[in-house]
């Protein structure tokens, strides 16, 4: 079996796995484990690659805050010119905290916006609301009228397009909670246009996440283009098409070797543009995972190994409360030793193991029946591609303080979130 690290964020040099040019063993010693480690240079490179793929088309990249909402990461993206896709009032507050000006490039999505969240977004003067139901349309019109401020809107359309991904992150079929059915769209646009404080400006569509081919996106955009033409024929001035996000990454090393993010981004851009068929609209794009996932790793230390009959377990100090994706989705993450000599020894000595955490749940695992080099108590491992939906989905289950986060940039290291303490956990309780 061959294990490789994932360049350029994490590479072996001499005997050590590095984040940029900083050994992960040093980070573990200095900041403890479990520890989220992000490569700033990789995030910048991937953002610029994605942005460049659309350079010939009018567009705004709106990073999906739910993927990773760390303030330092958001501030870095804002400086690069990124807009933001938010799905809650809390995410909007994070964006405003790093840059009030960034509100001009904020897209507010989500099926259950409250009156308070809508008010905050109106006052911040965001770019556009993605409206997902008739009730939300009425509420938004009411709140906008109350403060006499026009709200720019797009209706999120459910195009009934199948995306080959996990059912929990597929969002474009008629049985999903998201968006408005195509059959109901015409009446809702007419109703919206009649509201004094609503500006009917766009059409939105998001079919799911971790989609690794461009065909589903192209198919969805063909349906959106047809709708835009029909709306224009009825007198609506549609200036924006929100294509959503969902572009996937390769989580397995054997796939990652052939994965070319520049080529994938270019193919994605051309698929969307071609499907829109020359419409003069401004594209809104919501990448998240594809920008930050490969730039992050969860660093963990082996606590104990044990044998139960024929089953061998490697128990690490990270758990499902730190990285939920394997438990929630059955998601695959590459797990690599921090010391290269252990990788090189795999031709001589490997074990098929379950890598699990200490949380009191059988579902607390990172890998099942995975072939890995022999690991011993005290060894360090890196769980790769954890920059997206890692810390964002973390919790305090089993009264476990959440991990610290560090950002590496070349040889520099910045703590971008301190490790929680028990005092932090108890502070809000009486």
Tell me, which fold does domain 109-287 have in CATH? Answer: TIM Barrel (3.20.20)
Contact 204, 154 (CB under 8 A): yes
User: Residue 166's pLDDT is what?
Assistant: 41
- Those residues whose C-beta lies under 8 Å from the C-beta of residue 158, and which sit 6 or more positions away, are 172, 173, 174, 176, 178, 179, 180, 181, 182
Query: Considering the entire predicted model, what is its pTM?
Result: 0.93
Tell me the CATH architecture of domain 10-39+294-426: Beta Barrel (2.40)
What integer pLDDT is reported at residue 312 of this predicted model? Answer: 96
Residue extents of the structural domains in the chain: 10-39+294-426, 109-287
Is residue 324 within 8 Å of 407, Cβ to Cβ?
Answer: no
- For 319, other C-beta atoms within 10 Å of its C-beta total 27
Apex 50 CA angle, 48 and 55, nearest 5: 85
Q: What is the pLDDT of residue 349?
A: 73
Has 360 been annotated as catalytic?
Answer: yes
Rg (the chain; Cα; Å):
23
- pLDDT for residue 278: 85
pLDDT per residue as tens, the chain (430 positions):
444 556 679 999 988 999 999 999 999 999 999 999 999 999 999 999 999 999 999 999 999 999 999 999 999 999 999 999 999 999 999 999 999 999 999 999 998 999 999 999 999 999 999 999 889 999 999 999 999 999 999 999 987 664 544 444 444 344 555 668 777 788 899 999 999 999 999 999 988 878 888 898 898 899 999 999 999 999 999 999 999 998 999 898 776 655 789 999 999 999 999 999 889 999 999 999 999 999 999 999 999 999 999 899 999 999 999 999 999 989 999 999 999 876 666 556 788 999 999 999 999 999 999 999 999 999 999 999 999 999 999 999 999 999 999 999 999 999 999 999 999 999 999 9
Write down the pLDDT at residue 168.
Answer: 41
Q: Which residues of 92-127 are buried (b: 16+ CB within 10 A; e: fewer)?
A: bebbbebbeebbebbbbbbbebeeebbbbbbebebb
Catalytic residue among 233, 360, 378, 422: 360
Q: Which positions ≥6 away from 394 have C-beta within 8 Å?
A: 321, 322, 323, 324, 402, 403
pLDDT number for residue 159: 73
Q: What's the CA gap between 203 and 363, in Å, rounded?
A: 40
The rounded Cα 254 to chain-centroid distance in angstroms is 22
Same fold, 10-39+294-426 and 109-287: no
């Amino acid at each position: 079996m061959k294990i490789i690290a994932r360049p350029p964020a994490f590479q072996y040099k001499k005997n050590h796995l590095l984040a940029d040019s900083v050994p992960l063993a040093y980070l573990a010693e200095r900041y403890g484990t479990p520890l989220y480690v992000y490569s700033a240079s990789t995030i910048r490179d991937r953002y610029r690659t994605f942005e460049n793929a659309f350079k010939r088309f009018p567009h705004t990249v709106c990073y999906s805050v739910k993927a990773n909402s760390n303030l330092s990461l958001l501030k870095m993206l804002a400086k690069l010119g990124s807009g933001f896709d938010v799905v809650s009032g809390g995410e909007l507050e994070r964006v405003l905290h790093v840059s009030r000006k960034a509100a001009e490039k904020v897209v507010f999505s989500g099926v259950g916006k409250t009156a308070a969240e809508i008010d905050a977004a109106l006052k911040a003067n965001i770019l556009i609301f993605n409206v997902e139901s008739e009730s939300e349309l009425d509420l938004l019109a009411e709140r906008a009228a109350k403060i006499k401020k026009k709200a720019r809107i797009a209706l999120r359309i459910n195009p009934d397009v199948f995306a080959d991904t996990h059912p929990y992150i597929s969002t474009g079929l008629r049985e999903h909670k998201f968006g408005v059915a195509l059959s109901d769209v015409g009446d809702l646009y007419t109703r919206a246009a009649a509201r004094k404080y609503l500006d009917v400006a766009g059409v939105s569509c998001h079919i799911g996440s971790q989609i690794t081919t461009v065909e589903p996106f192209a198919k969805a955009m063909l349906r959106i283009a047809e709708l835009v033409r029909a709306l224009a024929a009825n007198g609506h001035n549609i200036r924006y098409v929100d294509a959503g996000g969902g572009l996937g990454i390769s989580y397995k090393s054997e796939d990652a070797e052939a994965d070319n993010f520049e080529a994938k981004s270019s193919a994605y851009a051309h698929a969307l543009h071609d499907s829109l068929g020359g419409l003069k609209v401004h594209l809104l794009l919501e990448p998240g995972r594809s920008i930050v996932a490969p730039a992050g790793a969860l660093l963990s230390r082996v606590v104990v190994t044990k044998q139960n009959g024929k089953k061998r377990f490697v128990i690490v100090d990270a758990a499902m409360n730190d990285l939920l994706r394997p438990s929630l989705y059955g998601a695959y993450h590459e797990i690599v030793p921090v010391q290269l000599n252990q990788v090189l020894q795999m031709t001589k000595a490997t074990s098929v193991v379950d890598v699990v955490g200490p949380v009191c749940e059988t579902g607390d695992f990172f890998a099942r029946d995975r072939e890995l080099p022999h690991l011993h108590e005290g060894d360090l491992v890196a769980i790769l591609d954890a920059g997206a939906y890692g810390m964002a989905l973390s919790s305090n289950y089993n009264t476990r303080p959440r991990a610290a986060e560090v950002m590496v940039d070349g040889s520099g290291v910045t703590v971008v979130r301190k490790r929680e303490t028990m005092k932090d956990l108890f502070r809000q309780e009486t």
